[in-house]
Amino acid sequence: MESFKTRVNNFWKAFCHEEEGYRRLLDEKRHQELIENLTGHLDEVMPIAFELGKSDTGVYELALTGEGDNTKCFLTNYWVKQAPGELLSTWNFYSARPRSRGNFGIRMLDRDVALEDIFVYPSIQKERAKIDIAVFSKKLAGLDRNEKYSLLFVCLDAAIGETYTECYIGEIEILDSKKLLTKSITMAELYQYIEEAIAANSWNRFENPCEVYSGYQVPPRENPIRLREDILFGGTAGRDTLKLYQNDDTWLTESEKWGVAFGFLFYDNSGVPREKVVEYRAAIEDEVLALLTDSQAAQILGGATGSQNSYIDFILYDEDEFLDIMQAWEGNKQGIRYRNFREEAAVISL
């Protein structure tokens, strides 16, 4: 099976060959013909939602979106980063839906909706670095719950962009009526509100959802036998990997169809002083990152500390190339081994 890296490289070759025609189809508003042609090339990498358009400055735009799927977020981010430099004077490429720069309006579910039609009651949650919102709009009346949220998320992405929706919006409540004696803003004002909250609270500023890490703890097992059963705590941007604790590997099966693998390096940490166990792992991560810079064959998702081993987790855009790089590594790799996240996969010594 072709690796995801190879699939993406082939896509960009095809796109470069046909992009002049894509621009012409956009200019002539022959959207259906364009969508059918481009969908064929995109599907050769993986099925993905996308949007096409042209900015006010005349630059053509293609946005790929994982629509909230954590793994697809990494894949679209990688995909867009591989865009050939010669395209960037005429095209903007996005790995998530950007916010609308002009006056946004949409006709959806038999109603016309503008951002000014939606009233937002924001509540800053400093400890979580999130903003919970309660929302009211007459335009949501008569819709069922799923329809309300579908329309709301379309408007949120238009108002603040998919990245800010994912990274900064916390709990969402849809109201049946306006709140009395409570100040609201329109959804058109929400982006500026978030910008001010980020600055005032010194929150991290994220360029895409892949930068958001989640910490986790695992109750210790009495006699851990299998790899990763000894994990006590860790942090990851690849939230899908945590689904393995619930024995959910459907995301892993889907990813493998697209030439994507997930794996980890691990080593016995018993010889590392406990107060230096994270620092020691971070030094290895830095060395591995430097090795991967040119190839872009893999990306570190996070790491974990166990009672027996330490782990460094990866999403692998080309697993074979990653292993070749690791085998050629001339650093201090004594005792470091690799295994795919598949339980039945063989352990590979470096």
Residue 34: what pLDDT? 93
CA-to-CA distance for 94 and 39, rounded, in angstroms? 16
DSSP character string of 16-33: HHHHHHHHHHHHTT-HHH
Count the helices and strands in the chain (H runs, E runs): 8, 16
Question: pLDDT digits over 176-235, tens only?
Answer: 998 887 889 999 999 999 999 999 999 999 988 888 888 899 988 888 888 999 999 999
Walk along the chain (350 residues) in steps of 10 and give the mean pLDDT of each run. 96 96 93 93 95 88 90 95 95 92 80 92 94 95 92 92 93 91 91 96 90 89 88 92 83 94 95 91 94 94 95 97 94 88 92
Residue 81: what pLDDT? 95
| Domain 212-349 sits in CATH 3.40.50 | no
Measure Cα distances from 294 to 14, 94, 120, 349 in Å: 23, 22, 45, 23
CA-to-CA distance for 47 and 25, rounded, in angstroms? 22
Residue 23: what pLDDT? 95
Residue 223: what pLDDT? 83
Cβ–Cβ contacts within 10 Å for residue 279, how many?
Answer: 10
CA-to-CA distance for 285 and 264, rounded, in angstroms? 11
Dihedral (Cα; 296, 298, 301, 304), 10-degree rounding: -130
CA-to-CA distance for 191 and 76, rounded, in angstroms? 23
Q: Where are the domains of the chain?
A: 4-94, 105-201, 212-349
- The identity of residue 27, as a single letter, is D
Q: b or e along 325-344 (b: 16 or more beta carbons within 10 Å of the residue's beta carbon)?
A: bbeeeeeebeebbbbbbeee
Closest of 270, 293, 290, 292 to residue 280, by C-alpha: 270
CA-to-CA distance for 261 and 241, rounded, in angstroms? 11
